[in-house]
Amino acid sequence: MAEKELKKPAPPRHIAIIMDGNGRWAKKRGLPRTAGHSAGGEAFRRTANYCRTLGVEYLTVYAFSTENWKRSEEEVSGIMRLLTKYLQEALRDMEKNHVRFRFFGDLSRLNPKLRKLCLDAQSRSDEYHEVQVNFCLNYGGRDEIIRGIQAYVRDVQAGKADVNALTETGFSAYLDSAGIPDPELVIRPSGEMRISNFLPWQTVYSEFVFMDVLWPDFSPEDLDKAIEEYHRRNRRFGGA
């Protein structure tokens, strides 16, 4: 057993998750969709804690997409309330949990209170290195690339960048994920097999693991299973 534990390969450095299936989880129980998101928030806490235990360096989660504004006012404000509460608690418990926060997405459309909480969480957690959570909030992959192009063109116009010298690595520095390695593993629970505008630039070489479990039921054992699947594929196809 001890020997088996010792031989366990290192987990991926960066895991990204599409937290899907909250609505169906609630519907199965006759509960409002917001109750599903609330249970999804708990699943996120469990997963982030487990990632820290495993030594995963980066966990990127899709919490709210640029398309999610089309949902009912009640559902959108329910998710925003949950995120606000979560970040208030995270700021309160920061010295105990040592989670580092980053936010991907266009925060300008969030309400000012939530936006300030995001910025505070990001700046106040900058010194921590145990696990970094990247929250995708009002995030869309195409939107991220467009915002990156806008920032890059502004630098070209200001004479700070040379258009003939642009490289893939150079452009990556204009994305929300600047400085963060690409995810090796992307997990989508709930049985859907799409990437839904999630990290299109960063996932060109990622392994995708699709699972039937609904996100609120996602457990540490499910994360173990996804990591095992990742290592199986890696052993078969990886390496030079």
44 touches ligand FPP by CB under 6 A: yes
- Of 68, 106, 182, 197, which is the active-site residue? 68
Bridge partners (DSSP) listed for residue 135: 61, 103
Q: What sign results for the dihedral spanned by CA atoms 127, 129, 176, 187?
A: negative
Nearer to ligand FPP, 20 or 207 (CB): 20
Joined together, the tokens standing for residue 197 give 């505008």
Q: Please say if 68 is a catalytic residue.
A: yes
CB of 69 to ligand FPP, least distance (A): 11
68 touches ligand FPP by CB under 6 A: yes
Residues 11-40 that bind ligand FPP (CB under 6 A): 19-24, 37, 40
Closest Cα partner for 45 from 69, 19, 64? 19
> What is the DSSP track for 3-57?
HHHHHPPPPPSEEEEE---HHHHHHHTT--HHHHHHHHHHHHHHHHHHHHHHT--
**Which ranges of 61-182 does DSSP label H, i.e. alpha helix?**
73-92, 94-97, 112-124, 141-157, 168-172
Residues that contact ligand FPP, how many (by CB under 6 A): 17
Q: Which range binds ligand FPP by CB under 6 A, 76-84, 120-128, 145-153, 171-179?
A: 76-84
CB of 4 to ligand FPP, least distance (A): 33
Active site residues: 20, 68
Instruction: Please report, as ranges, the residues that interact with ligand FPP according to CB under 6 A.
Output: 19-24, 37, 40-41, 44, 63, 68, 79, 82-83, 86, 190
